Amino acid sequence: MLRDDSTSLDNTASRGRLSRRRLLQFGAVGAVASAAAAALAACGESQVVTVERLPPPERQTVTVYSGRSESLVAPILARFSEISGVDVRIKYAGTPALAATLLEEGANSPADLFYAQDPGGLGAVEPLFAPLPQDILERTPDWARHADGLWTGVTGRARTVVYNNRKFTEADLPDDMFGFHDPVWKGGIGWAPTNGSFQAMVTGMRTVWGEDRTAEWLQGIKANQPIEFPKNTPQVAAAAAGEIDVGFVNHYYLHRFMSEQGESFNARNYHVRGGGPGALIMVSGAGVLASAANPEPAQALIRFLLSDVGQSYFVSNTFEYPMAPGVKTHPGVTPLDSINRPDIAPSQLTDLKGTQALLRQLEILP
């Protein structure tokens, strides 16, 4: 509970006061104090929060370049603005396009924070990031953040195979991704080569299998005449409609359809039982630009995304995996420990240029 009529942060058990120094450690200056209070509450340091909104000389702002779509993240970014009083200015575009823009703009970029769909985009602009404070990094597991703290994961996203469950059961599907080379799947596969998540999966393949075997997999799928889609959502819809048999997508798109249409929706997810890159767990993530004009509200925004409030939003509304401790996965989503996922760190998924070059070489991308 937030109120703007008190100068203390009260715990219902201790009624203790949180010092201004502690607020500053959470990046709480001026209007950002409210967001820090929410982050502290999410960390278990308070149960009932009251915080004074200190009037800044002028309204604080944070400029976000978001590679995550507006439909997914606009509500939680608006909630941060409402709680903190910070004016959030957002530029939406694809993660690869925003990464290219940031590299072109360099230190002159108006962006304070880059919120990317996948590690490939984050890795592309790593030289532009400033290290994140330790309290932010400690909210995520080691495998879900940059080794030197330049960015951190916010949510987890599993690569999966969506299939029409009126035609098939999981037992009918191959053990690994190479099984889709079988001619029985010809004309029945959907994929989205221009999509950032697909390219992250291919980058994972290059990491685990090497260039030659990855090229072999891509050529084998291409020989089966896959139907190309611009992104994941239409693949899931096409699988349910019987227009394709299987599609290579992220796990949460199915759950969005099922939340609206229920068990009658004719598609399900298959996490490849043989493991490997087809069962990859990726992260969406964020980093603060070293050139940021507003680094403190940018850091406060990341804290908010990793708070219980922020993480619960993603679990409930986007069906993604939480990264922060203590927040449970949505009950309809396959637990991470039930997926035979490969041991690939996000830092190994950053060679987006190499993946795009391979896809162009094989004439999968123009």
In tens, the pLDDT along 268-307 reads 999 999 999 999 999 999 999 999 999 999 999 999 999 9
State yes or no: pLDDT of 37 exceeds 70. Answer: no
Mean pLDDT calculated for residue range 145-159: 95
| CATH architecture, domain defined by 157-280+336-361 | 3-Layer(aba) Sandwich (3.40)
Q: What letter would DSSP give residue 171? A: G
* DSSP class of 110: -
- The yes-or-no verdict on residue 100 having pLDDT over 60 is yes
Q: Which pLDDT value is given to residue 57?
A: 54
- Where residue 120 falls among pLDDT bands split at 50, 70, 90? confident
Cα angle vertex 88, ends 47, 142, to 5°? Answer: 60
Nearest residue to 284 via CA among 39, 41, 32, 69: 69
- pLDDT of the residue at 131: 98
Looking at the chain, which residues constitute the CATH 3.40.190.10 domain(s)? 60-156+282-322, 157-280+336-361
The fraction of the chain above a pLDDT of 90, given in percent, is 75
Q: How far apart are CA 260 and CA 3, in angstroms?
A: 35
Q: Are 158 and 193 in contact (CB under 8 A)?
A: no
* Segment 133-141 mean pLDDT: 96
CA–CA distances in Å: residue 82 to residues 53, 77, 87, 165, 197: 12, 9, 9, 42, 31
203-213 average pLDDT score: 96
Q: What's the whole-model pTM score? A: 0.80
Contacts of 309 (CB under 8 A, 6+ apart): 38, 41, 42, 79
Quick one: fold of 60-156+282-322?
D-Maltodextrin-Binding Protein; domain 2 (3.40.190)
Q: What is the mean pLDDT of residues 339-347?
A: 88
The secondary structure of 240-294 as a DSSP string is HHTS-SEEEEETHHHHHHHHHHGGGSS-EEE--TT-SGGG-EEEEEEEEBTT-S-
- pLDDT category, 38, cuts 50, 70, 90? very low
d(CA 74, CA 66): 10
Q: Is the model's pLDDT at 1 over the cut of 60?
A: no
Whole-number pLDDT of residue 196: 84
Q: Higher-confidence residue: 209 or 38?
A: 209
64 membership: H or E segment, kind and range: strand 61-66
Model confidence at 69: pLDDT above 50: yes
| pLDDT given at position 347 | 79
pLDDT at position 24, please?
Answer: 32
Q: What whole-number distance in Å separates Cα of residue 235 and Cα of residue 191?
A: 7
